[in-house]
Structure 1
Amino acid sequence: MKPPLRDTEPDPPSPYDGVPAEEDLWFVPADPFQEEVGPPLPRSDRRDLLRAAEWRRAEASLAADLGRVAQRLGALDERVRRTPVGLRERLGVVEAAEFSWWAGDRVTPDRLSLWIALRLSGPQEDSLALTRAGWAARRLVSGPGPATGISAFLGRGPALDRALDWEAVDAASTGMHPITRAALVFHSWNLIIGDAGTAPIEAAVVAARLAAADGRSGSFLPLASGGSAALRPGGTPEERLARWYAGAEQASLAALRLLDQLEEWRDRAAEEISGLSGRTPSRLLDAFARWPLLSAPVAEAETGSSRAAVQRNIDRLAALGLIREVTGQERFRLWTARLQK
């Protein structure tokens, strides 16, 4: 005869028993993905990462180069202040197209003109590339500069303020010339913004506007119109700054030369069309001064005239030797002002 079970022995587990509480499982390891709550860590000083001291020494050693490019920028700013808005926009379109080619998007001035004026793009074209180039053209010539608020300037919302320590940039570059400060910001952009995937065209546009912060006309410092040497990375701060000064000076000279050619062309064209009737010829001259390449749809939108009137006056301007057709096609033709070399 078996002895009876003692009351001290535990009953076997039942499938209807509840799951033991988490705190009772002392042998379960802690969650490795759970962050420990504690006091906030102090923020690191990011000014040293910008190597501002090296940039200051480079600026001092290249003072003569800085003086030359600052003089060119001042002359360009004065010219832009006295030119019609259309010519200023043309400089922005040319520079934005050069930025696009440098960044790898390869948007030409004619396609950018169509996109800005009519939002037209071909089936094989990258609409995002056109959007980036159009944004660059607008930001270069209009609106407040990045110094008033980098988030608003880039149009990326207030969340960018948490990632971008813009105050550290201001503190690190105190006392630098705006042109030098722009070079520092451009070459340190990924470090500043904390996003290696940021489109490089943003860095170029921000730097171009920062460099002209002392200007009165809301102009920008050309960086790519005479070649992209200013935007080439690599080297010490002194080597980068030397390329920056030389490239910006060359691009500013190219912009001044373009303004001279457009002013001479406009005076010559106004004299040639003095005998033509109607408002369309003079409005066409404004359109050809504004856009590097002009199509019939854009000319129609710019002048407010009918397609027949636009085409008739374009033929007249071509016959006078004021414009020339550049595609050699019967359809989808483009014209440009015939500037004196």
Structure 2
Amino acid sequence: MVMKNRRVIMAQLPAGMLKAADFRLIEEAVPPLKEGQALIEVLYTLIDPIIRGWMVNWFGFVPMAPGALIPAMGVGRVVDSRSPGIAAGSIVSGMYGWQNYAITDGQTILLDQLPYGDQVMPIRGHDPELPLTYPIGILGVSTMTAYFGVKRDAPPIPGRNYVVSGAGGSVGSIAGQIAKMDGATVIGLAGTDDKCAWLTSECNFDHAINYRASDPATELKRLCPGGVDIFFDNVGGPILESVLDNLSLGATVLLCGATAVYNASGDKPNWGPKNYFNICLQRAVMKGTYCVDYHAEYPAAQEEVVGWIRQGRLMHRETIVEGLENCPAALIGLFRGDGVGKSFVRVSPE
């Protein structure tokens, strides 16, 4: 019997806000395994804003073309293996894309020639208490971005304020909590009252601003009368400009993401803030953070994060949508502000 593989591909290059017509669900036969290969059934796939940038090559990866599989991190189970290093039944994670099945040689997803490295990583056995989503969720790239962004690139100053945009998301919610652990007064910006309530009631943020229900500039001036000391920015756009208008002397602005402009039209969005010269006037520092710079330190950081979770010091949420066919809608919803914390699609039952 020939196995069928459903895959979500890019139907056309997106222009402006993502829409359903930018994606297409197709079905193909799974090719027979060759020596050295393994077949992975994808259990969970990640829904992440960066996928929008990958689709139009804003970040310097190999350009995607219509017909290409949508790339995304995933967790799966090895259902068949002709590779001595990959045992059938193992739980693995890697860049498997939005599909039911992926074929790997341990280094490359062979079914579509995705231009990203694939890491085969058994995740059950060393700690069976950890949920399957953890390797690509709370222990994945988003949390590592938050951890090293706060710990290394923009360390908090005890007693000073630390403002985080996109605070209801997987990076911002963790960054704010780590900054609070290190003694800062933490203020989060999020897009719904529910997210703001979660930040202050469970995540230990001191304040949360619903930027859709109030004016962020006015609220930041009220909460930070001496100016914003450190800003961890995941959003860009008008919120970044609001902060730049209210910097303290010698402030730090850490650029992590720009979700406000990911859905811009054209080859390149308008990244830059129009009031950037305030950085000069306030003798501030603006810099970027990129977690891959600290890749060798991930294991120690992940161990510390697991410890915080078990101690009840670090809160996180997962938004899980059912069904591969709903991946496009889940990604589109992410840019509307749907979901809290890290978002996944459950592709197959555990």
TM (norm. structure 1) is 0.29
Structure with higher Rg: it is 1
Bigger share in helix: 1
TM (norm. structure 2) is 0.28
